Structure 1
Amino acid sequence: MSENDLAKRTLFELMPPPEATRIRTACTELTDGRVDRIRHRRTVLYAGEEAVRPLLSVAPVRDGKELVVVLDDDSELSLLRNQLKHQSLHDVLTGLPNRQFLSTRLEALLNQADRGTGTTLYQLDLDAFSVITDGLGRQAGEQVLCTVADRLRAVFLGERAMIARIGHDEFAVLVENTAATPGVVATIERINEELSEPVYLPGGQGVTASATIGVVHRPPSGLSMDDVFQTADLTLRRARRKGTSWELHDTVLDAADQELAAMAAALPGAWETGEVRLVFDRQVELATGRPHGVQAVLRWDRPGHGVVDHRQCVELAEQTGMMVPLGGWLLRSACEQGAGLDSAVEISLPTCLANDEELVARVLGELGLSGLPASRLRVGLPAGALGGTAADNVGFLADNGIDVIVDEFGLGAHDLTYLEDLKLRSVRIARWLVARQARPEGPGPVVQRSLTQLVDLAHESGVTVAVDGIESEEQADWWRELGCDVGAGPYFD
């Protein structure tokens, strides 16, 4: 409708009859002085065009018998506002709600959901997604993400569920359960079934899009929205550690995982303030009881929580990415303090340092600064790291007169080949085998026979066998009778 045509029409002719009647009545009340002004959003129909809902304002002028009418059509602004709101709450690539939208919905459901059926949150992290993007490119990754979104929609079709993309390769599904909602196990099976189908890319290549899933089923009362998300994340990480495809939240395990996360976060500060220190554990010859040397280990005297041992300090440091500086400090401190001792000094280094191309230069540099002779230093490297650079480091260290010990030596696929291929002087039995021997029922005949053969083969190769973690005289006697050479642990401290 042109401006000229519009000017010939009255306000009431532009409105649906029911609306026009209501506005006429309101205008009469306005001229009679019963109301001061009219301010409503009314539907106005333009001939041959789509209906709009402008803001209608009517106010009296002069003696109150004349009225001024203003129609403010902000439909385009409202449309833009709605589009921006949608974009702020949805993922651009998949069209799914984002974390913010899901958080709002979860917060509402925690207060409104049926107490009998509750809600369930599934948090999914795609497996090896970076392999797809690194190997096949960003577009391939985007296609996989869109396909996963479509397949999740298919799984939860008909359910009261919100499917969201909450991270780069992470999705979440919030289900408002009913009596007819499938159980968690059935739902997980359905998700795995859908995601197990290959995603075929334009070039004809098929890739998998499996996921690891953390499930929070019917969150305990009192948990906030943030608590539920944290619980789902902890549960997913636990599934990753265990190597399972999914895990259901467990209050006790969640609390333990949260405590470990808190410890990992506090470790850097504890190191800076001196709570984390270096101590030397005694090592003895099992056959004679004579001193064999000392082992430099980390010890965290955590206020209010007791002592955190070396192994756990290393695990926590690896989680926070601080093992490289902490391991370098341990090496330096062990050389400096060991120089003043009249015994051999042993230090076990983590995987990240075992594969450091500068490891040999680091070790030789610390020996030179501290004055500790190379013949009195023993360096332990984990068996699982002895490939490539780490294997080269073993040879270079040995060539410089430094004894190398393979830590966590046991029944691994390549452990026996190390006895032939590397210049080793000693191996240390894996801690899981030590723990198995310490059980009341013992290690069992198969493990005991394997250990006997392992020790015999090591000795035939001219390699000594060490055992850590011995806690009692009975344990010491058992390992001595097996033929192990060196022992360490609380029993000898």
Structure 2
Amino acid sequence: MSWQLSAVGGGVIAVAYFAISVAVFAPLARSRQLRSNRLGTATGLIFFSCAVGHALHVVHLLPLPGADAHELHAVQASWGWHDTLWAVVTAAVAVYYWSLRRTYGALLSGAALFADLKEKEAALAANQQLLIERTAALDALAVSEGRFRSAFADAPTGMALVSLAPDNLGRFTETNAALGRIVGRSASRLERLVLDELAHPEDRAALRTALEQLAAGEVAHHLVQQRYVHANGGVIWADTSVSVVRDSAGWPVHGVLQLVDVTGRRQAEELLAHHALHDGLTGLPNRRLLADRLDQALTRARRHRTSVAVLFVDIDRFKTVNDSAGHSTGDALLRIAAERLSGHLRATDSAARFGGDEFVVICEEIGGEHELLVVAERLLAAMAEPFRVGDQEFALGGSIGIAVSLAGQDSAEALLRDADLAMYEAKDRGRSGYVVFDAALRGALEERQQTEADLRMAIDGGQLRLLYQPVVDVRSGKMTGVEALVRWEHPTRGLLGPDAFIAVAEDTGLIVDVGRWVLHEACRQLADWRAIPGASLTMAVNVSARQLCDPGFPGVVTAILAETEVDPDAVCLELTETALLDATEATIATLEALHRLGVRLALDDFGTGFSSLTFLKRFPIDVVKVDRSFVRDVAADPDDAAIVAAVAKLGRSLHLETVAEGVETAEQLAVIRRLGCRSFQGYLFSPPRPAADIPALLPSPRRSRERTEAPVITASPTASVP
């Protein structure tokens, strides 16, 4: 017999013949899936409907032995479900009963027959549900696998599976395209390599150790930023992550590698760090990195009982060239100086730019003082060579201060301070040399520190005093004004002149507070004197370079004048040539603001130092003061007389007042009168005096007539002279 199989609408029925026990059927229309199941050794019957409660479309039964297949073929399309079910079940019972009887020779009851059928129906339903669940799980796994494959292959992050087997540790088993792009190698090439072979030689050992820990189960994840070598030889920085994949027994079998290329970010960070620690002009380490390196050098010196030296190098005459040739030329000079310093150091030395035209060299592993001085001499020789910028050539030089820390006992701050002090001492000794900080300089430093501490208390403690030296008209002999000169009434050291504390005040910035107090007190005193009938004195006050650098200084002057009710044209601010030599655009703006305010400006000590006639053109100067060094021998030295005459003539041509300082004899007065100076100061008329002595020197009509007819004499010999 052959299979009888029919399909009408949504259903199929087949009945196997006798001992052929596999039957194929379609389930209810809700699932629409074919099933296979063993029903037993007897002939089985399977039936179905396309929907519960609907008619059975086709029923095919294979004939029993001796029966005509065509007679048993039944097609009932019009039966209802229950009628069809009953007919089919009845036929099935008959067939099943008949087959059992034939096989076992026994007649089974109807209850046993139906129980057997129900048991096999339940088993069939359970198998069907299990197969549905397994199929759904396989489908979900396939979808998940597909998603992983897609994410792995198309990820912008470099990814790979690496073996964690002990005999194949770190070998690539699968890679994606992004990893190949990052390291510059194909997938086939990578599968012949192990992960640590891609690492930078300095990072391989650490990466190998991490892989061994992952393989041993000691860690489940490894995260690090490290270097790899590209196929072209370049270095790659990458964030590296390796996570463990375990088998069913919990043993590590694979590592999931993720590589993110951070080379660009790393380079940007390194560039920012370099800029933060290096000078932008010269490329040398800046003060921040210098401090760190010096601390490390001192730590090593303490550990190994060795010495560290600091050489503080200042370029001589740099400011003059910078102002005259321009800042671009000055920048070029600084770059040349930095190259020369770096090129003349030992392998263990390092140089840094401290600021401006100052550099610092750290010398370690010093074999002795002789070796250190050889380094200093070599640096001085390098600085003494001509500096060429474009078609210009400049002769500069350098001054070096040296401080040595034995066994690293000094702090970095103290070592730099001592070297700086020694450098200034080298400048005072004539420049282009070096000075080693010693006990004598240390004593001077300690005295300087004590002076600074005492001066801070003196400003607020009312210890500062003003003396006034008259300014006298050469022709009339009449006192026309005074110059305020500050003194310090020290509680233990007595009355101190400016040489004892002004330099300290300049270096520490205390000169700003001192200068403000001097200006306020001088203007207050001038207001009192100008209240005396006929007293139309002017007041000259010295101003420091620090004050001129302060953009708020014109406001300070304005406020003091308003508070003391003094006319601006009665005040003359005296400026040193050194202050103007270092003048910046901000300084010039301050001078112009003061000039617009109405105060007069005087150039003090004209003719000394770096005097330049361009000062008179560049700055709004009203008064030129001839330095006492030219007045001292003006009556005997033709050269001094010529200089004074030239300055006086220049003043007349530029409509400037000329004041001769340090006039002490009648002969000097006669010469400066003949040479054309308008005013003078000096002991011939009066030394600096307290404010209480000045009214007695004010001109009266009778004294004025006497002075025009007779030589000027020293006033009030009994007055106190500091």
**TM-score if structure 2 supplies the norm length?**
0.46
Instruction: Please give the residue correspondences for 1:85-484 in structure 2 after superposition, counting only pairs within 5 Å.
Output: 85-113=273-301, 118-156=307-345, 158-179=346-367, 182-202=370-390, 204-218=391-405, 222-245=409-432, 246-249=434-437, 250-261=441-452, 266=456, 270=459, 274-278=462-466, 297-301=485-489, 308-309=496-497, 312=500, 320=509, 322=512, 325-326=516-517, 328-338=519-529, 349-350=541-542, 362=568, 364=570, 384-385=605-606, 393=623, 410-411=632-633, 414=640, 418=644, 421=648, 428=662, 456-458=667-669, 465=684, 468=687
Q: Secondary structure at 2:375's aligned position in 1?
A: helix
Deviation readout 1:29-85 (Å, 9 max, x if unpaired)? 22xxx5544556787667676575753423245743454422334451444433333
Counterpart Cα distance in 1 of 2:275 and 2:196: 33
Cα contact 1:215–1:236 (8 A) shared by 2: yes
Structure 1 position 109, deviation (Å): 1.5
Counterpart Cα distance in 2 of 1:94 and 1:25: 47
Counterpart Cα distance in 1 of 2:505 and 2:225: 61
- Using CA pairs under 8 Å that are at least 6 residues apart, name the structure with larger relative contact order, 1 or 2: 1
Q: Identity, % of aligned pairs?
A: 18
Question: Of 224, 242, 248, which residue of structure 2 is paired with 1:57?
Answer: 242
Unpaired runs of at least 5, structure 1: 283-292, 367-380, 395-403, 431-453, 471-482
Higher deviation after alignment, 74-83 or 460-469: 460-469
Counterpart Cα distance in 1 of 2:289 and 2:495: 43
| Aligned-partner residue type, residue 431 of structure 2 | T
Structure 1 position 133, deviation (Å): 3.8
Change in 2 beyond 3 A, CA 1:182/1:276: same
Q: Secondary structure at 2:283's aligned position in 1?
A: coil
Cα contact 1:383–1:407 (8 A) shared by 2: no
Change in 2 beyond 3 A, CA 1:349/1:11: same
Structure 1 position 296, deviation (Å): 6.1
Change in 2 beyond 3 A, CA 1:197/1:280: closer
Counterpart Cα distance in 2 of 1:9 and 1:185: 58
Cα contact 2:448–2:504 (8 A) shared by 1: no
- Residue in 2 aligned with 1:72? 259
| Aligned-partner residue type, residue 72 of structure 1 | L
Counterpart Cα distance in 1 of 2:716 and 2:620: 25
Q: Secondary structure at 1:244's aligned position in 2?
A: coil
| Aligned-partner residue type, residue 244 of structure 1 | R
Change in 2 beyond 3 A, CA 1:318/1:349: farther
Cα contact 1:299–1:309 (8 A) shared by 2: yes
Structure 1 position 189, deviation (Å): 2.8
| Aligned-partner residue type, residue 684 of structure 2 | V
Structure 1 position 173, deviation (Å): 0.7
Cα contact 2:469–2:686 (8 A) shared by 1: no
Counterpart Cα distance in 1 of 2:393 and 2:498: 45
**Residue-pair matches, total:** 415
Q: Secondary structure at 1:94's aligned position in 2?
A: coil
Counterpart Cα distance in 2 of 1:138 and 1:281: 40
- Residue in 1 aligned with 2:272? 84
- Residue in 2 aligned with 1:288? none
Structure 1 position 175, deviation (Å): 0.6
Q: Secondary structure at 1:16's aligned position in 2?
A: helix
| Aligned-partner residue type, residue 237 of structure 1 | Y
Structure 1 position 176, deviation (Å): 0.7
Deviation readout 1:313-343 (Å, 9 max, x if unpaired)? 6656666464765554344233344468999
Counterpart Cα distance in 2 of 1:336 and 1:314: 26
Change in 2 beyond 3 A, CA 1:312/1:53: closer
Change in 2 beyond 3 A, CA 1:484/1:260: farther
Change in 2 beyond 3 A, CA 1:486/1:329: same
- Residue in 1 aligned with 2:652? none
Instruction: Please give the residue correspondences for 1:25-44 in structure 2 after superposition, counting only pairs within 5 Å.
Output: 25-30=212-217, 35-38=219-222
Deviation readout 1:374-394 (Å, 9 max, x if unpaired)? xxxxxxx99724796999647
Q: Secondary structure at 1:384's aligned position in 2?
A: strand
Counterpart Cα distance in 1 of 2:208 and 2:721: 98
Unpaired runs of at least 5, structure 2: 1-174, 181-185, 199-203, 471-480, 546-553, 555-565, 573-601, 608-612, 650-656, 674-679, 690-711
Change in 2 beyond 3 A, CA 1:302/1:73: farther
Structure 1 position 127, deviation (Å): 2.6
Counterpart Cα distance in 2 of 1:414 and 1:137: 33
| Aligned-partner residue type, residue 16 of structure 1 | E
Counterpart Cα distance in 2 of 1:155 and 1:189: 10
Structure 1 position 350, deviation (Å): 3.3
Counterpart Cα distance in 2 of 1:341 and 1:25: 98
Deviation readout 1:454-473 (Å, 9 max, x if unpaired)? 66444677787257599xxx
Counterpart Cα distance in 1 of 2:356 and 2:327: 12
Cα contact 1:278–1:298 (8 A) shared by 2: yes
Cα contact 1:57–1:70 (8 A) shared by 2: yes
